[in-house]
Amino acid sequence: MDIKELTIQSALEGFQKKKFTVVDVVRACLANIQKYNDDYHALLTVVDEKTLLCQAEKIDKTDYSLPLSGIPIVLKDLFTTTGLRTTAGSKVLEHYTPVYDATVVARLKAAGAIIIGKANQDAWGHGSSGENTDYIPAKNPYDPSRVPGGSSSGSAVAVALGMCLASTGTDTGSSVRGPAAFCNLVGLKPTYGRVSRYGIIAMASSFDTIGHITKTVYDNALMCEITAGKDAYDATTGDQQVPTYSQGLDGTLRGKTIGLPKEYFELKGMDPRVRDATQAAIKKMEDLGARVIEVSLPHTTVAMACYYILVPSEVSSNLARFDGVRFGCGRETFGLEAKRRVMIGTYALSSGYYDAYYQTAAKIRTLIKKDFDDVFTKVDAIVAPSSPTLPFTIGERSSDPVAMYLSDIFMCPVNISGVPAVNVPCGFVGDLPVGLQIIGPQFGEQNIYQIASVYEKATEWYKRTTPV
């Protein structure tokens, strides 16, 4: 059993066929945490070995009938966990221990999952690289001189290095898809309201979505069908029935129409090697039967400006509660990026500037959503690169916030419009992964999972594990 190659699907089959036990898998994950975490900084908190093995032994005495029986999972440190430290990647909450579980955590536990630890991240979710953590930044498992993407940085690194079989993340502008792309993994940003946000430390409440990072599309679909659905504690969750996503992955791309947004492919600054890998993936989809047409998302050029008015405005409101009275340290403990976003947001919401900035951005948000709605009357899905560049080196963009923000230019519009998107591996440039983004209409997760699964099975890029 190679834990880095083991998927949720193959682990569940292995348990049933008595090839190995949950104890074996948990021990293998703990061994990789011991081996890699000091160098790659994926996890901020690890549950003690005795507790984990006790849980594993208990599950091994059952019939493995639950959908995630014995599957070790890492949680992004924005997810509240009963009796387990939750820091949001910030020193403000360094010693905070919640008294309740987030809805997603409760649903994973009820499905039989074992929570093995909490993942490193950009503090409060503010970042695209993982470098804005108040602790030590995580490193890319394919090249430790480079970033793993953010803000769910540790969540992706933990899966890639076999510290767990899957992880949770949050995606407010790119934060599941970006790390998945940079670490050769599958990462879903669901429709806004598809998965409950209850118990998640909020970044920007009208943008935040809860996704998962896995090795394969099947694993991701399985986790989403377990965690998605209406939640009485989150009024933004939708009433739509949750499909059995993992059972709808077979089929063909014949009859599917794929849209290529011309604005994305006209972007100056896209790495030509990323462009080539994306075009090769699109050609493969055509070979598999898809019809590919050019489409237009005309407000792409103003999407980042819109995003970085609206999101900091919500950030400034959400961080106001962390005043040192109830949860931890005072505001002087905030890092540079948190302070920057609070200042931008407070300015945009202030008297005399609200109409010029916030209200204008809100109007543009409506236009961006309409762009996507119009395109989805013509196509089944939109395909584009997840990132315009390869994983960049640690420190390369830390002194240039604008360059850092622009790394999300293909992903932020998806959050603005509230539609779902999934990253799937689509190739390598040398040893560095390239990710492909498949975007669908609202509550179209089943469709984009199916397209991603057909492509994944035809290419199997996920089988190229880390060199360490």
**Which are the catalytic amino acids?**
76, 151, 175
- Report the amino acid identity of residue 460: E
CA distances from 243 to 229, 295, 447, 457 (A): 10, 29, 11, 21
**First vs last Cα of the chain: how many Å apart?**
16
3-state secondary structure of 57: helix
Q: Residue 369's closest CA among 288, 278, 459, 298?
A: 298
Structure tokens at 246: 């993992």
- Specify the residue for token string 């019939």: 63
Which residues pair with residue 381 across a beta bridge?
A: 258
Which residues contact residue 132 at a Cβ distance below 8 angstroms, ignoring those fewer than 6 apart?
89, 122, 123, 126, 150, 151, 335, 336, 337
Residue spans of alpha helices (H) in 256-335: 262-265, 272-287, 303-318
Which residues pair with residue 75 across a beta bridge?
A: 118
CB-based burial label for 132 (10 Å; 0-12, 13-18, 19+) = buried
